[in-house]
Amino acid sequence: MRDLILGWQMNAHSGWGVVGINIFAQLANDPDWRVRMRGPIEYGHFMGLDPLRVAAIIKACDISNKLTDYSQGVLIDPIGNDLEAHYEPAELTIGRVVVEKHIKQAAFEKLSHFDALLTGSTWNKQILEEVTDKPVKVILEGIDPSLFMPGPKSGWLPEGFYVLSVGKLEHRKGQDIVMLAFKAFSERHPEARLVTCWQSTWNSIGNGYTGNTGVPLWLDDSGRLKVKQWAVDIGIDPDKVYDLNSCPNFLMPQIYRECDVLLAPSRVESCTSLPVKEAMACGLPVIAALHTGMHDLLTTDNSFMITECGTSPAPDVPYFPTVTTDWYEPSLEQTLAHLEAVYQDRGVAALIGFNASAEIRQHRTWKQHVEELKVWIMSLS
């Protein structure tokens, strides 16, 4: 039995956390692998998960929490935009690199101690191959098809057309474009409602954010984003906005199934966007920008693609190293046109959602992700 150490912390509220918890769960009872997390595993990390699944992995969690020696086994280290690793010697070291900018040549030295690199999109692979001679493997992220599946609406919500936007609030995710598109759309269609899943532990990133709206978004005294006040300042009726609390990933399927369309006009995606794939799996029609990592996911058969994307400078903020590069600027006009198309022809939208669900649930699962990961690791040994 070999040890596989995931060098970050699992949780149900972030992209890295969701990746971690799903890889861990898929390997928790694997006869050939003993999976560990570098950080401590707590019961709060399973918020929203049913007790049977918790029971299925709890023994592996207890074993993981007793780990003190990382040197014997395969270590996968998380690497972000700053390229800083928590490097510790191991039998085999893999850097899982997820970046949203082209990276400096200095990356060659920072990544030099890894035996191989792992990433989540062809775009990221191309970036890495420009600055390192290490082998780079793309393994696309997945979804849990036992959770993310089509289903009926509950009937609890009033009649309306529900537009969903998911992701922590930051310039990259394009929430300013969401607000401007919804403002124009709701003026045409008074029954339209906006559902936002933007609250997170990183709300401070969004404090004072303006984007293309011309007005800032602020935090309240408790650290919560004042989304409804931002709507008022932009000219949107706040009664048309559902500002949701941070929601555990395990409960997101219920939200996807209540809505009529997911709007994701992001400016860059290092991987293939977990919320977009999850919404697709649930059969929810998706409007998303076609660029960067999304080329590995979006097609005319599975989504309403925003193909008209100009360029805009990537932000120069602490969590992005200073590198001159451009992100993408999804067209507000095309975004609005897609919203109108979904609204006007629900049958076509439903067919696209059906196609997407079948594709994602069959070909983009965490089980497949882990099987591919195991085969690749064995090829490196």
Sequential DSSP letters for 238-278 = GGGEEEPPP--GGGHHHHHHH-SEEEE--S--SSS-HHHHH
Q: Which tokens in the block code for residue 283? A: 């059969």
What's the full length of the chain, in residues?
381
The DSSP symbol for 204 reads G
Task: Report the amino acid identity of residue 286.
Answer: V
Residue 61: φ, ψ to 5°: -65, -45
- Could you tell me the pLDDT band of residue 147, with boundaries at 50, 70 and 90? very high
Record the pTM. 0.96
Give yes or no for a contact between 274 and 141, defined as CB atoms under 8 angstroms apart.
Answer: yes
**Predicted local confidence at residue 317, as pLDDT:** 58
**Predicted local confidence at residue 103, as pLDDT:** 77
pLDDT tens across 35-50, in order?
Answer: 999 889 998 899 899 9
Tell me the C-alpha distance between 118 and 185, whole Å: 41
pLDDT tens across 193-228, in order?
Answer: 999 999 999 999 999 999 999 999 999 999 999 999
**Predicted local confidence at residue 263, as pLDDT:** 98
What is the average pLDDT across 155-170?
Answer: 97
Query: How far is residue 41 CA from its own chain's centroid?
Result: 21
Residue 278: φ, ψ to 5°: -65, -40
Domains, the chain? 2-142+365-380 (3.40.50.2000), 161-363 (3.40.50.2000)
Q: Which tokens in the block code for residue 271? A: 């991987």
Tell me the sheet residues that pair with 93.
Answer: 75
pLDDT tens across 307-350, in order?
Answer: 999 998 887 654 555 556 789 999 999 999 999 999 999 999 99
Tell me the C-alpha distance between 288 and 351, whole Å: 17
What is the average pLDDT across 263-278?
Answer: 97
The DSSP symbol for 44 reads G
CB proximity list for 98: less than 8 A, separation 6 or greater: 16, 78, 79, 80, 119, 120, 124, 270, 271
pLDDT tens across 226-239, in order?
Answer: 999 999 999 999 99
Over pLDDT 90: what percentage of the chain? Answer: 85
Give yes or no for a contact between 306 and 328, defined as CB atoms under 8 angstroms apart.
Answer: no
**Predicted local confidence at residue 215, as pLDDT:** 97
Q: Report the sign of the C-alpha dihedral through residues 353, 358, 364, 366, in that order.
A: positive
- Could you tell me the pLDDT band of residue 81, with boundaries at 50, 70 and 90? confident
